[in-house]
Amino acid sequence: MPRPDPLRALRLLRRIELEAARRSLGDALAAEARAAEACRQVAQARATEAGSARAADYAAWLPAAQAAAAQTAALHEVTRAAIEPRRDAVAEASRAEQVVAEEIASRQRRLRQARLARSQALLEDLSRPLRPPSA
């Protein structure tokens, strides 16, 4: 059974963290898009109502429309503000995964160099002439 490699396990953990951060960012972007669409719909309803209703009906409807517009705008602001920290989390998780990958590559280079040095030492030892044992 091969010995477990802690760096490979750490790299897997970092990859999982990166995927979770990406999913979280995707969720935040989708929520922001939904909030932006809600704002657009409220603004469109307000424009439609302004042009098609009697003044008294519009005046009665307007406070509710303004409240809905304020609520959707606030929601949109909150969802927009949530995006940047999640982008930062993706960048941080990506860098953490990259650092582990670089360490794995560095370790593999060191191991390869050590193997090559041992092979070279064996080759040099084989190329020396054999001396008879001294009596």
Q: What is the pLDDT of residues 8-23, one digit of tens each?
A: 999 999 999 999 999 9
For 33-88, how does the pLDDT look when each residue is reduced to its tens digit (9 = 90+)?
999 999 999 989 888 877 776 777 777 888 888 899 999 999 999 999 999 999 99
Residue, of 121 and 134, whose pLDDT is higher: 121
The pTM of this model reads 0.74
DSSP states along 39-65 = HHHHHHHHHHHHHHS-HHHHHHHHHHH
Which is more confidently placed, 110 or 132?
A: 110
C-alpha torsion sign, points 36, 41, 46, 51: positive
Average model confidence (pLDDT) for the chain? Answer: 90
| 69 C-beta neighbours (distance < 10 Å), count | 16
Q: Residue 64 CA to chain centroid, in angstroms?
A: 40
Q: Which residue has the higher pLDDT, 55 or 107?
A: 107
What's the CA gap between 44 and 65, in Å, rounded?
11
At 135, the pLDDT band (50, 70, 90 cuts) reads low
pLDDT score for 16: 97
Percent of the chain with pLDDT over 90: 67
